Amino acid sequence: MTSDAMGTVRSGALPLASRTVVGRFRERVETQPERVALRSNVDGEWMPVTWGDYGAAVEEVAAGLLTLGVGAGDRVALLSGNRAEWHIADLAILSIGAITVPVYPTNSSSQVAFVLADSSARVCFVEGSEQIAKVLLHLGELPNLARLVGLVDLPGLDRSGLVLDLHQLRGDGRSRLAGDPDAVARAATAIAADDIATLVYTSGTTGPPKGAILTHGNLDWTASAVESMVGLSPDDRFLSYLPLSHIAERITSHIGQIVSGGETWFARSLATMPEDLRACRPTVFFAVPRVWQKFHDAILEQIARRPKPLRAAITRYIDLGAAIVRSRDEGSTLDRGFTLRHRLLDRTIGAKLRQSLGLDRARVIVSSAAPIHPDLVRWFHAIGLPIAEVWGQTEDCGPATLNPPDAIRIGSVGVPLPGLEIRTAPDGELLVRGGSVCAGYFGRPEATALLVDMEGWMATGDLGTIDADGYVSLTGRKKDLIINAAGKNISPSEIESRLAMEPLIGQAVVVGDGRRYLVALVTLDPDEAADWAERQGAFSDIATLANDPQLRAGVAAAIERVNRQHAPVEQIKQWRLLHEPFSIEGGELTPTMKVKRAVVIERHADLVEEMYAEGRGS
């Protein structure tokens, strides 16, 4: 780790990427064709796809795209949930030098149309009739869109001039390859590192979505950097469940799996993810803070149902683990008898807890996409699941910093990837420069100029600090920073993440810019609220529970607990319990379950004003 007079931190040099993801994939297919690459649940069985079959499918779909007239530089959209066909379509697009444009399947029809129109997509892969309907609804606004390819069978849809299914496309590809066996190989070998690989659209929380331009070199550089820090092998296993349209999941379970040569399993849905996780038992697992909070709550619920003696033993084990984590934080040591007792309990109780989650084989465990409270991270470390917080943006291929698995510092987001430079601007904003930084925003030169300066430094929008060892700690989002009426700077993210750790609270949005004190908009955790209602014999409807005096008293007590952990200026003086949880469909959450603060505050502006009106004169 080095730094210069400007405070720029580097984690060491990483050689320039000499391969592309497409090249890495073709090598895997050639060297380990019989090994399993992908698994999908079909009628209750996890059916395998070998690397050889994977490669054949990609080759045929790529050749099929050539028959449609798709070539280098053309944009091809991918509108689907996570499935093997997503990987196949993506690699087929990349293999002929075309550009993949992922679209979130949770997007509304107008949002889908915006991305297709903005990228001038010529072809769109779609999953099922629901997604096709979104495109057809705005077809007249998409003059460049020539064909739709269904990733699944689409019975009853008779649009032969527009729609074909994947089987037809593969058949056309086989015919093309029969006459020209090297058609795809020629296109793949012609790809250069500076060629655009994908346009990944931002969530659009501060305006219309923008397509970040990621090159083949960006993707391969990032994969190489991550691999150099965590090590990957054909024995690794990944569970794909967060949207592949988001760069973090794509880098982890798609591109990371290609680099490792291991297996990716596709969860059936978010609802079945816990069950699928136990079946997969991944070695590398990535989750957002909301998922980690759900796991924490589920374990505590399991413990509460155990017989009293066993409950006491589990509690003792967690307490011992917490003490060990605390000693590591403080740099102190514990006596040998203490650590021996913990080791014995870890082999029994700890192993069972990790097995109950499906994380007993996990060696790289990551939290990212939103701030996670250090206390929650410490709790998982205490049960032998050392979460490593990672930080990055769509615009730098996902990870910019990573906590090394053997040198995790809780409360930090780790050190820069090898070869990446990070420094702080005078206002505290973190700036990054290196091989993962995107080439700007597609068709938006003004936005690109604001993102990356003439020296290649990219503005991340995050505020943070860098310690003497190069570990980066976040202090908030620049655009979310609250400056109260007294001029005090307050970052709401830490307060919000701490509130979300309270069992009854689902999410919270703290407000206070230009005001004398902070207020909060709070939602109930649906599962915890339902359990509370069952214990109390009350109605379980969320809207009804939000008005229940006893439940509100429980929320008030939770907020007071959080207040006691913060300075007076950071305490919540008024709050309102909303009648519905935030949702992706409702537009309050991003597809990775990050709260869109501006949307929430705007929608509930009347409640915010009401809280401040009540506090006047106090």
More confident residue, 14 or 338: 338
Contact (CB, 8 A) for 592 and 618: no
Report pLDDT for 540. Answer: 73
Contacts 24+ apart (CB under 8 A), 158-165: 163/132
The answer to whether residues 467 and 445 belong to one domain is yes
Count of C-beta atoms within a 10 Å radius of residue 153: 10
Report pLDDT for 472. Answer: 96
What is the rounded average pLDDT of the residues 417-423? 96
The answer to whether residues 352 and 496 belong to one domain is no
In a domain, residue 524? The reply is yes
Percent of the chain with pLDDT over 70: 95
Count of C-beta atoms within a 10 Å radius of residue 203: 16
Report pLDDT for 4. Answer: 57
CATH no. for residue 143?
3.40.50.12780
What is the Cα–Cα distance from 488 to 569, expressed in whole angstroms?
8
Report pLDDT for 572. Answer: 95
List the Cα angle 241/95/74 in 5-degree steps: 95
What is the Cα–Cα distance from 542 to 199, expressed in whole angstroms?
39
The answer to whether residues 353 and 377 belong to one domain is yes
The answer to whether residues 393 and 428 belong to one domain is yes
Q: Answer with the one of 143, 159, 192 that is the final residue of a domain.
A: 192
Percentage helix, strand, coil for the chain under 3-state DSSP, each rounded to 5: 45, 20, 35
Report pLDDT for 618. Answer: 47
The answer to whether residues 354 and 473 belong to one domain is yes
What is the rounded average pLDDT of the residues 185-190? 96
In a domain, residue 253? The reply is no
Chain center to CA of 441? 20
| 240 to 248, 282, 388: CA distances (angstroms) | 11, 10, 18
What is the Cα–Cα distance from 506 to 495, expressed in whole angstroms?
13
Report pLDDT for 17. Answer: 44
More confident residue, 527 or 393: 393
The answer to whether residues 514 and 538 belong to one domain is yes
Q: Minimal CA–CA distance to 83: which of 324, 249, 260?
A: 249
The answer to whether residues 299 and 436 belong to one domain is yes
Q: Minimal CA–CA distance to 499: which of 565, 553, 410?
A: 565
DSSP per residue, 343-406: HHHIIIIIHHHHHHHT-TT-SEEEE-SS---HHHHHHHHHTT---EEEE--GGGTS-SEE--TT
Total structural domains within the chain: 3
What is the Cα–Cα distance from 327 to 523, expressed in whole angstroms?
35
pLDDT tens for residues 228-241? Answer: 999 999 999 999 99
The answer to whether residues 141 and 34 belong to one domain is yes
**SS3 track for 130-189:** HHHHHHHCCHHHCCCCCEEEECCCCCCCCCCCCEEEHHHHHHHHHHHHHHCCCHHHHHHH
Percent of the chain with pLDDT over 90: 76
The answer to whether residues 80 and 135 belong to one domain is yes
State which residues form the domain around 73: 21-192
Q: Is residue 457 scored above 90 in pLDDT?
A: yes
Tokens encoding 293: 């909070």
Report pLDDT for 617. Answer: 47
In a domain, residue 99? The reply is yes
Q: Minimal CA–CA distance to 434: which of 218, 604, 598?
A: 218
Report pLDDT for 333. Answer: 83
Q: Answer with the one of 144, 177, 192 that is the final residue of a domain.
A: 192
What is the Cα–Cα distance from 94 to 58, expressed in whole angstroms?
10
Contact (CB, 8 A) for 279 and 46: yes
The answer to whether residues 538 and 413 belong to one domain is no
Q: Answer with the one of 448, 478, 508 that is the final residue of a domain.
A: 478
Q: Is residue 448 scored above 50 in pLDDT?
A: yes
In a domain, residue 353? The reply is yes
What is the Cα–Cα distance from 519 to 144, expressed in whole angstroms?
48
Q: What residues contact 567, with CB distance under 8 A and at least 6 apart?
A: none
Report pLDDT for 202. Answer: 86
Q: Is residue 11 scored above 80 in pLDDT?
A: no
What is the Cα–Cα distance from 136 to 124, expressed in whole angstroms?
11
In a domain, residue 387? The reply is yes
More confident residue, 190 or 542: 190
Report pLDDT for 543. Answer: 83
What is the Cα–Cα distance from 134 to 154, expressed in whole angstroms?
15
pLDDT tens for residues 196-231? Answer: 999 999 875 556 789 999 999 999 999 999 999 999
In a domain, residue 252? The reply is no
Average pLDDT along the chain: 91
Contact (CB, 8 A) for 545 and 539: yes
The answer to whether residues 569 and 527 belong to one domain is yes
Contact (CB, 8 A) for 219 and 439: no
What is the Cα–Cα distance from 170 to 377, expressed in whole angstroms?
46
Local structure of residue 38 (DSSP, 8 states): E
The answer to whether residues 517 and 397 belong to one domain is no
Q: Is residue 408 scored above 70 in pLDDT?
A: yes
Q: Minimal CA–CA distance to 430: which of 469, 467, 461?
A: 461
* Per-residue burial over 513-549, b = 16 or more CB atoms within 10 Å of its CB, e = otherwise: eebebbbbbbbbbeebbebbbeeeeeeeebeebbebe
pLDDT tens for residues 329-362? Answer: 888 888 888 889 999 999 999 999 999 999 999 9
Across the strands, what pairs with 489? 483
In a domain, residue 206? The reply is no
What is the Cα–Cα distance from 211 to 395, expressed in whole angstroms?
9
* Per-residue burial over 352-370, b = 16 or more CB atoms within 10 Å of its CB, e = otherwise: ebbeebbbbbbebbbbbbb
CATH no. for residue 523?
3.30.300.30
In a domain, residue 435? The reply is yes
Judged by phi (left if over 0) then psi (alpha if -120 to 50, else beta), residue 148 lies in beta
pLDDT band at residue 16 under the 50/70/90 scheme: very low
pLDDT tens for residues 119-166? Answer: 999 999 999 889 999 999 999 999 999 999 999 887 666 566 899 999
What is the Cα–Cα distance from 540 to 529, expressed in whole angstroms?
7
Across the strands, what pairs with 264? 38, 238
Q: What residues contact 475, with CB distance under 8 A and at least 6 apart?
A: 428, 463, 464, 465, 491
What is the Cα–Cα distance from 594 to 588, expressed in whole angstroms?
8
Q: What residues contact 124, with CB distance under 8 A and at least 6 apart?
A: 76, 77, 78, 79, 103, 116, 135, 145, 147, 148, 149
First and final C-alpha spacing in the chain: 51
What is the Cα–Cα distance from 610 to 606, expressed in whole angstroms?
6
3-class SS at 508? Answer: strand
